[in-house]
């Protein structure tokens, strides 16, 4: 059925006097939703004299399916104000919107609403809530939802596997598949795609091969998405030959298959092989997408091959991807890595001024080419335009400050970090401490360090080594003990504390003798510091 025919049917419905028939109006909304004509669907919905739960659910799910998440959430809230109780389909749709928007607080509220009316244990709603928590990284909450479901279908199993894989728990994802195999639950392509992502993060080739065997036994070797995930797993875990065998045996290759092999080939092959593969890809008649060019530009940057990158640049222009946001950011990165900052600036000035990512690429590029002053100027311009900086922005610009030895700018950036709310973010705090240390401002670095609630082993080591290298050996020992108290408050394990303690004392003991008081070695090794015999020997 075409949209034109559908609108004609709509006209006949109105002409025959069925404008107040809810069943007919709901089906018309469903028709507009399937064709993606959301404006006409909303217009019809607004003109309906009577609306039931199906009407609201159709318009909410339609808005969310078409990517209008905020509109869908607003409609959901408006529906609850009318007194209607949402069904499982409305809950599933709004949880999908919360997942896509990253709205953790509102999603938790919707979860509480579902729990209040008894729909949390519904498989459809439970799977949506499980997927919401897993995608946002709260795998513990996802486990509780999974264990509380009264019926677990394949969608729930897949959500749990995908959640483990996305949160970096690859082994747990594999264990779930093992349990499914033991319980003789039929797996689908989403099961294998998710568990292969877990195997990729796990880095265990043997487990990946076992999953490959399970794919063959399940007769999924002809599914393109599964083979793409399998090929990616082999490339990432060092199984180059196995990945190539999977690729050559695929019957139905799509653009994702070629993008995967481009990424894998650039890890192992030279520029000539990448160019040959791209020529073969164009010969198949497929059209590259923005991911293709973005990945190729990144690979050319890694290979530092500007000539090949310029050829891909010409193809990107031919296919109309030059103004595509992701491609342009990759281009900036490639030109910066190849040392042609003039070209990177030209791409940047083509209109990429509203989002922070191209700014970060340009600042990092200037740092890479030792253009610290230009990087600082870019940051000042960014701040004046009101572009919202993130943690990567501050880490990059602090590197520029330390190189340019501009302590005044460092303090101004410190103020900007406080204003932006990143002062206690791990990477930013580490970079700020390191910048102060390199500029010789030990008091500022130690004050910041002691106020940081998320102490990092690298930051800890930098602080102690800075004190020792400045000749403050005794003070380093004193401050080490103060920091160890902070470590206990931050719930670090005793094993990690002991390792950090030993390495810190080694920093002290390895300094030239002129920095050491006569009894310092004995002071470090005495029982007051609670070092075991093996740790004492390691220090010696």
pLDDT digits (tens, 9 = 90+) for 385-408: 888 888 888 888 888 888 888 788
| Segment 223-261, tens digit of pLDDT | 999 999 999 999 988 888 899 999 999 988 999 999 998
Which pairs from 320-323 meet CB under 8 Å and 24+ separation?
321/288, 321/290, 321/293, 322/350, 323/350, 323/351
| Segment 153-176, tens digit of pLDDT | 888 888 889 888 888 888 899 999
Q: In 3D, which of 467, 496, 466 has the Cα closest to residue 484?
A: 496
Residue 334 contacts residue 297 (beta carbons within 8 Å) = yes
Question: Exposure of 310 by Cβ count < 10 A (0-12 exposed, 13-18 middle, 19+ buried)?
Answer: middle
Q: What whole-number distance in Å separates Cα of residue 175 and Cα of residue 402?
A: 47
> Which residue is it, tokens 């610290």?
372
3 state SS of 69: helix
> Which residue did the predictor score with more confidence, 463 or 343?
343
Whole-number CA gyration radius for the chain:
29
Q: In 3D, which of 128, 49, 47 has the Cα closest to residue 87?
A: 128
pLDDT of residue 94: 92
| Segment 269-295, tens digit of pLDDT | 667 788 888 899 998 889 998 989 988
| Segment 38-56, tens digit of pLDDT | 888 888 888 888 888 899 9
pLDDT of residue 533: 44
- The torsion angle over the Cα atoms of residues 241, 243, 244 and 248, rounded to 10 degrees, is 140
pLDDT of residue 503: 47
pLDDT of residue 408: 84
In the chain, where the domains are located: 152-252, 266-353, 370-455, 459-506
What is the share, in percent, of the chain residues with pLDDT greater than 90?
A: 16
Q: Give the highest mean pLDDT range of 192-206, 344-358, 410-424, 446-460.
A: 192-206
* Residue 283 CB partners (closer than 8 Å, separation 6+): none
> Which residue did the predictor score with more confidence, 2 or 309?
309
Question: Exposure of 417 by Cβ count < 10 A (0-12 exposed, 13-18 middle, 19+ buried)?
Answer: buried
Estimate to the nearest angstrom the gap between the alpha carbon of 137 and the chain centroid: 10
> In this model, does residue 477 exceed pLDDT 70?
no
> In this model, does residue 439 exceed pLDDT 90?
no
Report pTM: 0.71
pLDDT of residue 258: 92
pLDDT of residue 467: 63
CB atoms within 10 A of CB 54: 18
pLDDT band at 491 (very low <50, low <70, confident <90, very high): very low
| Segment 97-129, tens digit of pLDDT | 998 888 888 988 999 998 888 888 787 888 888
| Segment 502-511, tens digit of pLDDT | 445 454 444 4
Helix then strand then coil, % of the chain, to nearest 5: 75, 0, 25
pLDDT of residue 76: 92
Residue 211 contacts residue 199 (beta carbons within 8 Å) = yes
The mean pLDDT value of the chain amounts to 80
């Amino acid at each position: 059925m075409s949209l034109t025919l559908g609108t004609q049917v709509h006209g006949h419905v109105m002409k025959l006097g069925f404008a107040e028939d809810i069943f007919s109006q709901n089906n018309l909304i469903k028709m507009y939703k399937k064709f993606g004509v959301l404006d006409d669907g909303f217009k019809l919905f607004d003109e309906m004299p009577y609306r039931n739960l199906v009407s609201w659910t159709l318009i909410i799910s339609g808005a969310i399916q078409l990517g209008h998440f905020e509109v869908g959430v607003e409609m959901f809230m408006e529906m609850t104000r009318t007194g209607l109780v949402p069904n499982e389909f409305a809950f599933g749709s709004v949880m999908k919107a919360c997942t896509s928007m990253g709205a953790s607080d509102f999603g938790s509220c919707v979860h509480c609403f579902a729990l209040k009316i008894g729909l949390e244990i519904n498989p459809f709603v439970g799977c949506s809530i499980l997927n919401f928590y897993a995608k946002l990284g709260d795998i513990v909450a996802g486990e509780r939802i999974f264990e509380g479901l009264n019926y677990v279908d394949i969608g729930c199993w897949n959500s749990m596997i995908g959640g483990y894989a996305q949160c970096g728990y690859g082994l747990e994802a594999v264990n779930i598949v093992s349990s499914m195999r033991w319980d003789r639950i039929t797996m689908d392509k989403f099961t294998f795609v998710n568990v292969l992502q877990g195997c990729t993060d796990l880095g265990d080739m043997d487990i990946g091969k076992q999953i490959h065997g399970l794919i063959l036994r399940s007769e999924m070797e002809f599914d393109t998405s599964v083979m793409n995930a399998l090929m990616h797993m082999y490339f990432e875990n060092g199984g180059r030959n196995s990945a190539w065998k999977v690729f050559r045996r695929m019957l139905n290759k799509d653009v994702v298959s070629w993008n995967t092999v481009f990424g894998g080939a650039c890890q192992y092959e030279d520029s000539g092989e990448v160019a040959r593969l791209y020529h073969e890809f164009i010969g198949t008649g497929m059209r590259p997408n923005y991911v293709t060019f973005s990945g190729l530009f990144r690979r050319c940057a890694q290979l530092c091959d500007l000539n090949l990158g310029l050829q891909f640049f010409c193809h990107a222009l031919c296919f109309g991807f030059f103004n595509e946001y992701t491609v342009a950011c990759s281009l900036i990165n490639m030109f910066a890595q190849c040392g042609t900052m003039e070209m990177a600036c030209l791409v940047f000035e083509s209109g990429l001024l509203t989002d922070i990512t191209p700014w970060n690429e340009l600042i990092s590029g200037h740092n890479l080419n030792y253009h610290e002053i230009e990087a600082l100027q870019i940051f000042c311009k960014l701040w004046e335009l009101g572009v919202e900086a993130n943690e990567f922005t501050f880490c990059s610009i602090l590197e520029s400050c330390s190189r340019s030895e501009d302590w005044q700018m460092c303090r101004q950036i410190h103020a900007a970090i406080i204003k932006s709310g990143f002062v206690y973010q791990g990477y930013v705090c580490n970079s700020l401490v390191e910048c102060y240390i390199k500029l010789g401002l030990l008091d500022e670095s130690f004050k910041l360090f002691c106020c940081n609630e998320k102490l990092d082993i690298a930051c800890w080591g930098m602080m102690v080594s800075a004190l020792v290298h400045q000749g403050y050996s005794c003070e380093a020992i004193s401050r080490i003990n103060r920091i160890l108290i902070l470590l206990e408050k931050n719930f670090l394990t005793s094993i990690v504390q002991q390792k950090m303690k030993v390495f810190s004392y080694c920093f002290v003991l390895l300094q030239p003798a002129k920095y050491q008081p006569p009894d310092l070695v004995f002071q470090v090794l005495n029982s007051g510091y609670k070092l075991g015999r093996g740790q004492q020997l390691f220090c010696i």
